[in-house]
Amino acid sequence: MRSGDLVAMVGPSGCGKSTILKLVAGLLRPTEGNVFVAGREVGAERIGIGMAFQNPTLLPWLSIRHNIMLPLKIVKPYADTYRRDKDTVFRERAEALLARVGLAGFGDRKPWELSGGMLQRANLCRALIHAPKLLMLDEPFGALDQFTREELWSVLQDLYLETRPTVFLVTHDLREAAFLASRILVMSARPGRVVEDRVVDFARPRTLETTFTDAFGGLTNELRRLIFQARHEQAGAARTAAQETAA
Amino acid sequence: MKLTRRTRDHIKSAACIVAMFVVWELACVAFRISPIVLPRPTAVISTLIVQMPALWPHILQTLATTMLGFLLGTVIGVALGAFVGVSRSAYNTAYPLLVGFSSIPKVAVVPIFVLWFGSGTVPAVLTAMTTCIFPIVVNVATGLATTEPEMEDVLKALGASRRQVLWNVSLPRAMPYFFASLKVAVTLAFVGTVLSETVAANRGIGTVMMMATASFDVPLVFAGLFALALLGILLYVVFAGIEQRVCGWATRKQDLAVA
């Protein structure tokens, strides 16, 4: 992956998308081989990755603002001045980011007072507040309805274009991948392999109009076909294996 | 007058409690139960009021003993619970020991404490402590051990140390469990104190009840019981109030359908 890329990874469930994400984030250790981020092996040095899961996992005892400011408390250099800046600079930073995702004025609310879509917006803020060089998103919009999802695509794209972090997006929504990514990796399941590596060069900023173009439709259809093939081969392999055992 | 639903609910509950005492009173009168067997609630309350000047130092003694034992029990319980909840091997080692220890009737432990420290306040404090430790340890350990891995993952990906994860996620997450155990523990601490006082002490409500039983002053025994129950309720309410302030998020979370 190149720095500043937005790479989406799609594939049938169980192909190891989330595992790769966790390996890169240093949450899992590889059983074999090594993982390198920015030229350094993962685990050797923490680099403060921004992360958002499908489940918002905001801490229910903190207000939305304090939830969002959490990375600033952990990641250096922010952590060093957290005590001094938490009510001034950092607070404004959190409010500004909240306003960007359409949550202005909700900073003092508690997570249980917000809807699923709002929580996911806040979750995005938390992943971005410390301006991470690497952003890991694991089906961040998976639990949302289509309209909210499409709205948040644009929000995410805006934020991405502003700071240009390297983004690693795991998703099973092909339109989401095609809309957001500058590069799409298609994976097959068991064995988990990258079967297709494709550059997406629609002009940015992309809008919902982009998704109605023939090129966009063609891309998503092609991706769908690739995944279908990957699943088909997998099912075929499983059948052969079953026949062999039966014989 | 229009009452809110909450107030009406409260009135209903209060009425039920009063009704229970009324039934008790009426049953005593109707079946001509001797006050030596079961005194009427009115007799108990009047004894409690009349004897209050004499009872008061004993109540204070029992309260102080209980609070000291409860405080020690909380400190040790939280430390043990944190230890057991964080480490797998500590969990496996400590759990059987704890279950075994908590299965021992505390009556059997009091003579040992008396043997070691003499009769009086010390064994009462220790009994209160040992009685209330178990629920605290179990709850704190459970709270720490059941933290959602995703919550921790977000911090770990940021490069948080174990201590930071514990401080920012695990401990706050365990707070509702901790407070739930405190409410149970404080009433258990009373049981421990009074138990020890009835066996080996010369002050405290337990002692008063022991002596009253010996002289068949049953209304006084019941007055002692009432005093204990009131103290228990009082402390329960205090800790429930603190709980509501510190971790109201945990009870209000029920409104939230999306987790």
Query: Per the CB < 8 Å rule, is A60 touching B148?
Result: no
Closest residue in A to B160 (Cα–Cα): A74
Residues B73 and B128 in one domain: yes
Chain B residues with CB under 8 Å of A26 CB are 156-157
Based on the structure, what is the number of domains in chain B? Answer: 2
Domains defined for chain A, CATH in brackets: 1-49+133-247 (3.40.50.300), 54-131 (no CATH)
Each of the 247 residues of chain A gets a pLDDT tens digit; together they read 677 788 888 877 766 777 777 777 777 777 666 666 666 666 545 566 788 888 888 888 888 898 888 888 888 777 777 777 777 788 888 888 888 888 888 888 888 888 888 888 888 888 888 888 888 888 888 878 888 888 888 888 888 888 888 888 888 888 888 888 888 888 877 677 777 777 877 877 788 778 788 888 888 888 888 878 777 776 777 777 777 666 6
Suggest the residue from B147, B158, B162, B255 to mutate for an interface test with chain A (most A CBs closer than 10 A).
Answer: B158
Q: CATH number of the domain that B130 lies in? A: 1.10.3720.10
Chain A residues with CB under 8 Å of B244 CB are none
Segment (H or E) for A7: strand A6-10
Residues B47 and B134 in one domain: yes
Chain B residues with CB under 8 Å of A59 CB are 151, 168-169, 172-173
Closest CA to A136 of A211, A78, A49: A49
pLDDT at B166 > cutoff 80: yes
pLDDT digits (tens, 9 = 90+) for B142-163: 888 888 888 888 888 787 888 8
Q: Residue A16: which residues within 8 A CB-CB, separation 6 or more? A: A187, A189, A192
Residues B120 and B225 in one domain: yes
Segment (H or E) for A6: strand A6-10
Residues B12 and B124 in one domain: no
Q: Which positions in chain A have a beta carbon within 8 angstroms of at least one beta carbon in chain B?
A: 22, 25-27, 46-51, 53, 55, 57, 59-61, 70-71, 73-75, 110-112, 115-116, 119, 126, 130, 136, 143
Q: Which of A27, A48, A110 sits opposite B153 (nearest CB)?
A: A27
Residues B5 and B73 in one domain: no
Amino acid at A215: A
Averaged pLDDT of chain B: 87
Query: Per the CB < 8 Å rule, is B153 touching A53?
Result: yes
Residues B187 and B218 in one domain: yes
Query: Per the CB < 8 Å rule, is B155 touching A74?
Result: yes
Rounded alpha-carbon distances, angstroms, from residue A176 to A8, A182, B179: 9, 12, 44
Query: What is the rounded CA–CA span in Å between residue A185 and residue A167?
Result: 13
Query: What is the rounded CA–CA span in Å between residue B69 and residue B128?
Result: 5
Alpha-carbon distance A80 to nearest alpha carbon in chain B (angstroms): 13
Q: Residue B121: which residues within 8 A CB-CB, separation 6 or more? A: B61, B65, B201, B203
Residues B186 and B143 in one domain: yes
Residues B246 and B120 in one domain: yes
Residues B140 and B20 in one domain: no
Q: Which of B157, B169, B172 sits opposite A49 (nearest CB)?
A: B157
Residues B47 and B19 in one domain: no
Q: How many CA atoms lie within 13 A of A92 on its CB side?
A: 3
Query: Per the CB < 8 Å rule, is A25 touching B153?
Result: yes
* Domain housing B195: 40-255
Residue B51 backbone class (left: φ over 0; alpha: ψ -120 to 50; beta: rest): alpha
Residues B79 and B17 in one domain: no
Residues B66 and B11 in one domain: no
